[in-house]
Amino acid sequence: MQSDDEVFTVSGITASASALIRLGLLQRDPQGAFLTTGKFPHRPIPAAPPDFSSAPAPDPYSPEGLTRRGYNVLRGETFDQDRVMIDGGYYRITEARKHGLI
């Protein structure tokens, strides 16, 4: 016997089995399986899980973004204290960005 919480797609509508039964698009057969309503009843199509999109790329000037771009980053207690190494010296990220160093 199938659960009423399973998600199916019937006639272009994706919903739980209980919702599709209330809409009149799905019914239970005597064995407890679900069948579509209509002239030619058949087993409903299980809905595919949604595709997972990739995580957005970090800001290229954030400490993580600079690290990914190959810079050595020295973390401070706040964002204003974070520093990036440029030519052997550590500069505040905000100042390095303001002067076009990164």
Are residues 40 and 11 part of one domain? yes
Rounded CA gap, 17 and 25, in Å?
9
Average pLDDT score over residue span 60-66: 93
SS3 of 57-79: the string is CCCCCCHHHHHHCCCCEECCCCH
Average pLDDT score over residue span 80-96: 92
Residue 52 lies in a domain: no
Do 27 and 34 form a contact (C-beta atoms < 8 A)? yes
**pTM > 0.75: yes or no:** no
Domain extent for 77:
63-98
Q: Which comes out higher in pLDDT, residue 53 or 92?
A: 92
Identify the CA nearest to 4 among candidates 18, 23, 21, 24: 18
Domains in the chain, number: 2
